[in-house]
Amino acid sequence: MDLDRALSISAAGMTAQSTRLRVVAENIANRDSTGQSPGADPYRRKTVTFASRMDRELGAETVRVARVGRDQREFPERFEPGHPAADARGYVRTPNVDSMVENMDMREANRSYSANLAVLETTRGMLLRAIETLR
């Protein structure tokens, strides 16, 4: 495998994981965003789906974000009769964001991003050593 290919594969992985980190950050930022009126939907958790694709120019498979979707799980309810979005029973529908799941997703994306960065830095070092050898 040549070094240009390694750089491109790592860069694709970093791009995919940075999208995932952005989506996780958005989910965490909106974990308390309820609807503004009774019956209104609160924030719905976003999900990231990855796919591999054959990059014919590189001659290798790379990862990409296939789509950013919405988690279709039910919204939890919380008893809060004074809230503007409370229904007739006094319950407010809250976002389907679980902080524990988001933190685990963030750690996994961060580790994957870091691994791709390490490959990128190692490959860059190899290129610099090759250039120095040729001088």
User: Over the stretch 44-89, which tens digit does the pLDDT of each residue have?
Assistant: 999 999 999 898 888 888 999 999 999 999 999 999 999 999 999 9
Backbone phi, psi, residue 41, to 5°: -75, 140
The number of domains in the chain is: 1
Q: How confident is the model at residue 3 (pLDDT cuts 50, 70, 90)?
A: confident
d(CA 134, CA 5): 21
**Enclosing domain of residue 23:** 3-134
pLDDT confidence of 1, banded at 50, 70, 90? low
pTM of the model: 0.86
Strand ranges inside 3-134, DSSP E? 46-55, 60-70, 77-79, 91-93
